[in-house]
Structure 1
Amino acid sequence: MPHRRFQDLALLILGGVVVIPVAGVLSAWLQWDARSADILRQMAGTVLLEYALTSLLLCGVVALGVALVGTVCAAAVTLFDFPGRRTLEWALLLPLAIPAYVVAYAYTDFLQFSGPLQTGLRASFGLEGRLLPEVRSLPGAAWVFVFTLYPYVYLLARAALGERAAHLMEAARLLGAPLRRRITSVALPLARPAVAAGVALALMETLADFGVASYFGIQTFSVGIYKAWLAMDDRVAAAQLATSLLAVVALVLMLEARAQRRLRFVTSRGGRGAAAEAQPVRLRGWRAGAAFGACLLPVLAGFVLPVAFMLRPLGADWSMLPWDRFVQWGFNSVRLGAISAALAVAIALLLAFRMRQRPDAVTRGVVQLAGLGYAIPGAVIVVGLLLPVGWLQQAAPGLPSAYWVTGTILGVVWAYLVRFMSVALQSVQSGYARIPASLDDSARMLGTAGLGLLARVHWPLLRRSAIAAGLLVFVDVMKELPATMVLRPFNTDTLAVVAYQLARDERLGEAALPSLALVLVGMIPVVLLSRTLRQPRT
């Protein structure tokens, strides 16, 4: 009994790691004072409506864009066969490797008024003035988000269509349905829940963004939270703004959960014979060219062109690049990523093991809380961590609580665990799903139980899943910007923070080096994912 109580206490502490940031944000409404009320009143009369409308408009355009691009690409590579399809199947995942704010820097460097494209056009044709629309705008931000986030829709829609669409379309063809009707009446309805789930994930990333919106000067809710905190120096007003963003994220989560429930109805496989006989429709002529072009455009816009734009400064003048400090920035990023990944995998293993051994209400609640963090924007996590620390500092000035959160790496690692614990937990739980329960019974009969069961029986079977979980968390930490920028200690700049600061100071050429380093690191999960998806077609 004492051992079980100790385990329950440990689980509650782990749940508190995620609960404290959210509770800190919600409790801000209990700290209402005249100053924060005046700030919110002023913001409501000036910029708050703009924040809401801009965020709503941006999310609407991004939702339509990722749904269209992701669905078209998934349908093309799943339902049709054309030259280059095999290459495009994995190439369409490449934008996952590049952070959205890095794409924003790359397009700005190349397309701005003083960039090489407009400069070359003016010099070649004797033109003057601005020749292209301003890239730092709402349409520019929507372009960046659409072509970096569409893989969420592409992955889920491709999985949904690959399960049953091919042989159902074959059955429709045998019944005399033309190709257009087979697509609109058979394939697309099967993919609709998957598309909705992918759009929800893309919207959560858009709402959580700070780098693109701040750099482009887009007045979104995320940017407004940071302005209230840092520019107006009122953490209570920032937390109260964060509750609005948190409510929107909760709504998106509800919609995503509904889509996932509906997704179950389209993932059951048909008979093996039917699936084996169904083949993608072979395209020829201009139809094959159109399918190839439709799939090539997102790869160019979301990965190839941004990387090419960033490589240009490296080839132009190597002396301008901060090579001497690059090693320190890389070391800081790798250190934070390694520590966070190790802790996240260790906690995920313990939670998944407890869930397998005793899935009671406490365990299920903690696991659900741990999975919530990935949907919480970095701005909300920062406010939720610093607000309780500030209250504790005021109540007990002698306690060094604020120093431990803002003066060491504890605070930023805490934020990483809240944000990315779900990534590690999902990977470990998927590994556990492949281990039969009878194996545990056999191990207990041989005298192995408790943590010995985890160490001696489960761990050898979970090693690959744990390594994959660690790599995913590591890459996410390397690319994370908002929490790192606010919570990092002095002299602990990371590649993501430095890339943002250099780009903000209009030193886009110098920002290319840390940005490319982030792209190289981001290639790791893309390679793993593409190897997983490259299976023989049935």
Structure 2
Amino acid sequence: MKANISKGSVLAKSVLALVSLFMLIPVIIVMRSWLEPMADIWSHLAEFVLPQVIKNTILILALVTVLAGSLGTYLAWLTSMYRFTGQRFFVWALMLPFAIPAYVLAFVSVGLLDYSGFIQTSLRDMGLSWSIPNIRSVWGAGLILSLVFYPYVYLLARQAFLSQGQRALEAGQMLGLTRNKSFFKVALPQAMPWVVGGLLLTWMETLADFGAVSVFNLDTFTTAIYKSWFGFFSLTTAAQLAALLIVTVFIILLLERYWQKKRSYLPSAGSRQREKLTGLRNLWAVVFCSFIFILAFGLPMTQLLIWVVKNYHIDLDARYWGFVKNTVLIAGTTATAIAAVALLVAWLLRHYPSRSNQLLVSMANLGYAVPGTVLAVGVFIPIAWLDNLLIAQNITSAQVFSGSVIVMLLALATRFMTVGFQPIDRQLNRLTPSQEQAAQLLTTNRWQRWRKVYLPVISPGVFTALIMVFVEVTKEMPITLMTRRQGWDTLAVRVFEMTSEGMYERAALPSLTIVLVGLIPVILLITQSDKS
């Protein structure tokens, strides 16, 4: 019996080690690129590219920190501590910006606010010469990314404030503080681990963004990586820039893990009774929440619909359905592959929960913290090496893998492994030891046990994993753009091509499709939030 357990443990560790190694290869390859510095290109980058890249990145992160942090925290405080007109609607409506990719909100904003956009054109037609600040700037990028990513802070901060209930305000009143002072001196310090955790997530998303900064024509690490590969045709330089970005992201990831541990110590007592707002205070809450909702979701969705109605007879053709087919194919394949691997990993971890196995699983799930541009480079390099080796050995006469969907699939699987693993692992934890024992008494046939006992319990988690991965792959731009073969375009790639040429109206149909698909996980999130 002990021999069987030992054999199973070794087998489980071997499988988990292989999965982890596979997921870490792109990161290892990228970090290894520093062994091959290219002095001529790096002298150009250091003089003309990196100073602007670092400056833009720091400024955008600072803007996102202030705007997303303030918006998310204040909206969380309003909706969790007060009752006002429409409060129940805004609780979930303020999560909807999650469904809109940053690059979609970016080009819609440019289409509305640019010199040739609808708003400035309308003002000139009315004889008004109002000057609107250039949206294609660092402040524009910071604003757009804040509107897209503030829900990270909003969700976590709201969880903290709901846990506090009225306890923080009551403690402040006992100290002779007003409600506003109680927020800043009592409630906010207690909720700070949640707020900081949300901000660190927005930092990782901001550093990983490629589409929005491309629309604004700003140089950041992700665009510099893209230009190094497709402009300088230097994969090594792209990898070295990617390595710098990885180090930055991993530092943020470590900080997020630190604050995540601190979040577990917040007491969860306290009354959920909310103060009812009346008069001007009620009006302010309604107007402010409505303004953010319209700005981040209502206005861009309305503009997309207007553009789609105007141009659908041009865009809704055979090419569009080709984009849809390619998107569904790669998203469905990736989702299925990840769900299968995630189920295997979660099952092995459940039955062999050693510390080393937990570490291996954590390493296998690191991909989501790595920007898509980095993974595209990290996966392409070993695949290109394999192709060159096959050609050198006269096994093939041309590249076989580099121009195939395999590169894209591997990069996507690495990035979104944790998206599929988390819901399956959570659902698998609902399978109690008594249920497993009952299944073993029910039948000795393993397939029958899986079909009659295990699958009914696990299937909701598998279904959620399939949906979440499918949606994330549908929205993903840099990996599909950088690893696709010529002519094999997805909806996200179509959006990039149209916005790169300034044809924002023609990008509306694929963008609207992506947003509608993106609403699915948001609806699931809202449903889970309502249940809790």
* TM-score (normalizing by structure 1): 0.92
| 1:239-269 C-alpha deviation (Å, 9 max, x unpaired) | 1111110000001101111110110011x42
Shift of 1:126: 5.9
Call closer, same or farther: CA 1:96–1:404 in 2, change over 3 Å.
Answer: farther
In the alignment, what sits opposite 1:38? 40
In the alignment, what sits opposite 1:524? 520
Query: Aligned residues, how many?
Result: 525
In the alignment, what sits opposite 1:69? 71
More displaced stretch, 247-256 vs 15-24: 15-24
Shift of 1:158: 0.9
Partner letter of residue 126 of structure 2? S
Alignment of 1:84-99 (within 5 A): 84-99=86-101
Call closer, same or farther: CA 1:485–1:520 in 2, change over 3 Å.
Answer: same
On the 8 A contact 2:387/2:402 being kept in 1, the answer is no
| 1:84-131 C-alpha deviation (Å, 9 max, x unpaired) | 10000010011001100000111111111112211111111164xx83
Q: How many Å separate the matches in 2 of 1:100 and 1:401?
A: 42
Is structure 2 residue 322 aligned with structure 1 residue 328? Answer: yes
Alignment of 1:50-129 (within 5 A): 50-125=52-127, 127=129
Shift of 1:292: 1.9
Partner SS state of residue 89, structure 1:
helix
Shift of 1:225: 0.9
In the alignment, what sits opposite 1:236? 236
Partner letter of residue 268 of structure 2? R
Q: Identify which of 247, 259, 282 aligns with 2:276.
A: 282
| 1:475-524 C-alpha deviation (Å, 9 max, x unpaired) | 10000000100111233211111011011111111111001111100111
User: Tell me, which stretches of 5 or more residues in structure 1 are unaligned?
Assistant: none
On the 8 A contact 1:98/1:522 being kept in 2, the answer is yes
Shift of 1:314: 2.6
On the 8 A contact 1:107/1:135 being kept in 2, the answer is yes
Alignment of 1:412-431 (within 5 A): 412-431=408-427
Q: Identify which of 302, 308, 312 aligns with 1:308.
A: 302
Q: How many Å separate the matches in 2 of 1:402 and 1:286?
A: 71
Q: How many Å separate the matches in 2 of 1:4 and 1:71?
A: 46
Partner letter of residue 133 of structure 2? P
Is structure 2 residue 22 aligned with structure 1 residue 20? Answer: no
Shift of 1:5: 4.8
Q: How many Å separate the matches in 1 of 2:203 and 2:514?
A: 22
Call closer, same or farther: CA 1:30–1:456 in 2, change over 3 Å.
Answer: farther
Alignment of 1:124-273 (within 5 A): 124-125=126-127, 127=129, 131-170=131-170, 172-173=172-173, 177-266=177-266, 268-270=267-269
Q: How many Å separate the matches in 1 of 2:124 and 2:56?
A: 33
On the 8 A contact 2:80/2:161 being kept in 1, the answer is yes
Shift of 1:404: 4.8
Shift of 1:318: 3.9
Q: How many Å separate the matches in 1 of 2:17 and 2:176?
A: 60
Shift of 1:320: 3.5
Partner SS state of residue 236, structure 1:
helix
Shift of 1:445: 5.0
On the 8 A contact 1:66/1:150 being kept in 2, the answer is yes
On the 8 A contact 1:353/1:454 being kept in 2, the answer is no
On the 8 A contact 2:165/2:273 being kept in 1, the answer is no
| 1:173-207 C-alpha deviation (Å, 9 max, x unpaired) | 46754312322233212221111111111111110
Is structure 2 residue 359 aligned with structure 1 residue 360? Answer: no
Partner letter of residue 254 of structure 1? L
Shift of 1:317: 4.5
Call closer, same or farther: CA 1:335–1:390 in 2, change over 3 Å.
Answer: closer
Q: How many Å separate the matches in 2 of 1:401 and 1:421?
A: 34
Shift of 1:134: 1.7
Partner letter of residue 207 of structure 1? L
Q: How many Å separate the matches in 2 of 1:451 and 1:47?
A: 58
Q: How many Å separate the matches in 1 of 2:399 and 2:492?
A: 23
Partner letter of residue 33 of structure 2? A
Shift of 1:10: 2.9
* TM-score (normalizing by structure 2): 0.93
Shift of 1:371: 1.6
Shift of 1:530: 1.0
Q: How many Å separate the matches in 2 of 1:399 and 1:506?
A: 45
More displaced stretch, 426-435 vs 475-484: 426-435
Shift of 1:449: 8.6
| 1:375-422 C-alpha deviation (Å, 9 max, x unpaired) | 000111011111222333444424569945432221111111111111
Call closer, same or farther: CA 1:70–1:401 in 2, change over 3 Å.
Answer: farther
Shift of 1:458: 2.6
RMSD (Å) for aligned C-alpha atoms? 2.2
User: Tell me, which stretches of 5 or more residues in structure 2 are unaligned?
Assistant: none
Q: How many Å separate the matches in 1 of 2:169 and 2:449?
A: 47
On the 8 A contact 1:208/1:378 being kept in 2, the answer is yes
Q: How many Å separate the matches in 2 of 1:383 and 1:197?
A: 28
Partner letter of residue 22 of structure 1? V
| 1:283-334 C-alpha deviation (Å, 9 max, x unpaired) | 1111112222222222112111111122222333443334332111111111
On the 8 A contact 2:21/2:364 being kept in 1, the answer is no
Shift of 1:439: 2.6
More displaced stretch, 394-403 vs 318-327: 394-403
Q: How many Å separate the matches in 1 of 2:444 and 2:278?
A: 61
Q: How many Å separate the matches in 2 of 1:370 and 1:293?
A: 45
On the 8 A contact 1:21/1:385 being kept in 2, the answer is yes
Q: How many Å separate the matches in 1 of 2:374 and 2:88?
A: 41
Call closer, same or farther: CA 1:485–1:402 in 2, change over 3 Å.
Answer: farther
Alignment of 1:442-521 (within 5 A): 442-444=438-440, 446=442, 454-521=450-517
Shift of 1:137: 1.2
What percentage of residue pairs aligned between the two structures are identical?
A: 34
On the 8 A contact 1:80/1:282 being kept in 2, the answer is yes
